[in-house]
Amino acid sequence: MELKHKKLGIADETVFHMYETMLITRRLDERMWLLNRSGKIPFVVSGQGQEAAQIGAAFALNREEDFVLPYYRDFGVVLAFGMTVKDLMLAAFAKAEDPNSGGRQMPGHFGQKKNRIVTGSSPVTTQVPHAVGIALAEKMDKKQTVSLVTFGEGSSNQGDFHEGANFAGVHKLPVIFLCENNQYAISVPVSKQLASVRVSDRAAGYGMPGYTIDGNDPLEVYKYVKEAADRARRGEGPSLIETMTYRLTPHTSDDDDRSYRSAEEVKKAKLSDPLDTFRSYVKEAGLLPDEKEEQLEKSILTMINEAMEYAENAPFAKPESALQFVYAGTEQGAEK
């Protein structure tokens, strides 16, 4: 039987690179929890269980030109778009060199202009209209770029989702709306979030195609996002893709999920952990011999250790630098 990635026209090397990025994402995420539980960093917001959706989507884009507007679980998206493990460690430790915010924002609030990772905030879904505005601007300039915006299924209830999706639909803008449906908005399950069966049902209201797909299969996500990107570049407008995933960790390091879901449910979800299933796939495809895998794990461990050590020892921004950058030309600090 022909391998799925071959059918999709994805090179072996790219598939390996996708797996590598997924693995880095997971190992980094796991390390963040250790750092939090040992009292070294105050906060973690995690993407475990959603890496396949994130990596599949990011790799389907032009990572040299397209824009991404990630939400707070998207370690995988930003790593695929050029942010480094060191950058993310600097953010976790809130150090001056953190490219996301120089230690101003909580971890998970991504942004890095040089990699077209658009700065985000905590009120959910505000990034959706921004993605639409970027697409509008790029279309005005006759560019071929696409903007990908991600959000959770709970967020798809926000007005900004509906207002942004409708705007993009009316003006046929090159936007990909990617929902990472991880089944929970903190503690509230999908059944109490959505009146429709699927988030993708909402696409019809905004004149765009909507798909619900397996978010545990990065190649499936790649396929749909690639098609949506091609469609967008042809001037045919936006798409909504709902990737079905499961949030394997509590909402954040400050949440205890035992109060609203059973250990059995989480255990069951772990059976289809996308990292395990994709690992099996690349192994069966012959792209990850044991020796190479061992090497990969080792090099990732080293990379994370080095990044952690660097970030832990890196300086904080000067306290009074909190006065900087309120307006343009306030590099010297705002008036006290």
Partner 1 sequence: MPVISYIDAVKMALREEMERDRNVFILGEDVGKKGGVFKATEGLYEQFGEERVLDTPLAESAIAGVAIGAAMVGKRPVAEMQFADFIMPAVNQIISEAARIRYRSNNDWSCPLVVRAPYGGGIHGALYHSQSVEAVFANQPGLKIVMPSTPYDVKGLLKAAIRDEDPVLFFEHKKAYRSIKGDVPEADYVLPIGKADVKRKGTDITVITYGLCVHFALGAAEKLAAEGIETEVVDLRTVYPLDKQAIIESASKTGKVLLITEDNKEGSIISEVAAIIAEHCLFDLDAPIQRLAGPDVPAMPYALPMEKYFMMNPEKVEKAMRELAEF
The one segment of 177-185, 232-240, 250-258, 323-331 that binds partner 1 by CB under 8 A: 323-331
**Residue 277 CB, nearest approach to partner 1 (Å):** 35
Instruction: Clarify whether 251 is annotated catalytic.
Output: yes
Residue 113 as a binder of partner 1 (CB under 8 A): the answer is yes
Q: What is the CA radius of gyration of the chain?
A: 20
Q: Pairing between strand 184-185 and 188-189? A: antiparallel
Give the residue, chosen from 2, 256, 290, 331, that forms a contact with partner 1 under the rule CB under 8 A.
331
Spatial distance between the Cα atoms of 216 and 179, rounded to a whole number of angstroms: 13
- Classify the C-alpha dihedral 17-177-107-27 as positive or negative: negative
Give the residue, chosen from 20, 30, 163, 255, that forms a contact with partner 1 under the rule CB under 8 A.
163
User: 197: burial class by Cβ within 10 Å (0-12, 13-18, 19+)?
Assistant: exposed
The smaller minimum CB distance to partner 1, of residues 11 and 170, is found at 170
Nearest to 320 by CA among 308, 336, 304, 305: 336
Residue 99 as a binder of partner 1 (CB under 8 A): the answer is yes
Enumerate residues 6+ apart whose C-beta is below 8 A from 31. Answer: 304, 308
Tell me the H-state helices in 93-236: 127-140, 159-170, 218-233
**Total residues at the site for partner 1 (CB under 8 A)?**
47
Residue 62 as a binder of partner 1 (CB under 8 A): the answer is no
CB 156 within 8 A of CB 163: no
**Residue 198 CB, nearest approach to partner 1 (Å):** 23
Spatial distance between the Cα atoms of 132 and 23, rounded to a whole number of angstroms: 31
Catalytic site residue from 17, 162, 211, 260: 260
Token pair 């299924």 is found at: 153
Give the residue, chosen from 16, 260, 310, 325, that forms a contact with partner 1 under the rule CB under 8 A.
325
Residue 136 as a binder of partner 1 (CB under 8 A): the answer is yes
The one segment of 13-21, 107-115, 229-237, 269-277 that binds partner 1 by CB under 8 A: 107-115
Residue 314 as a binder of partner 1 (CB under 8 A): the answer is no
Give the residue, chosen from 191, 328, 332, 336, that forms a contact with partner 1 under the rule CB under 8 A.
328
Q: What DSSP element (H or E) covers 20?
A: helix 12-37
Catalytic site residue from 116, 184, 247, 281: 247
Residue 226 as a binder of partner 1 (CB under 8 A): the answer is no
Token pair 């926000």 is found at: 158
Residue 87 as a binder of partner 1 (CB under 8 A): the answer is no
The smaller minimum CB distance to partner 1, of residues 132 and 221, is found at 132
Look up residue 335 and give its DSSP letter: -
Residue 235 as a binder of partner 1 (CB under 8 A): the answer is no
Spatial distance between the Cα atoms of 319 and 243, rounded to a whole number of angstroms: 42
Catalytic residues: 247, 251, 260
Residues of the shown chain interacting with partner 1 in the complex, contacts defined by CB under 8 A: 67, 98-102, 104-105, 109, 111-113, 118-119, 121-123, 126, 128-138, 140, 147, 159-160, 163-164, 166-167, 170-171, 324-329, 331, 334
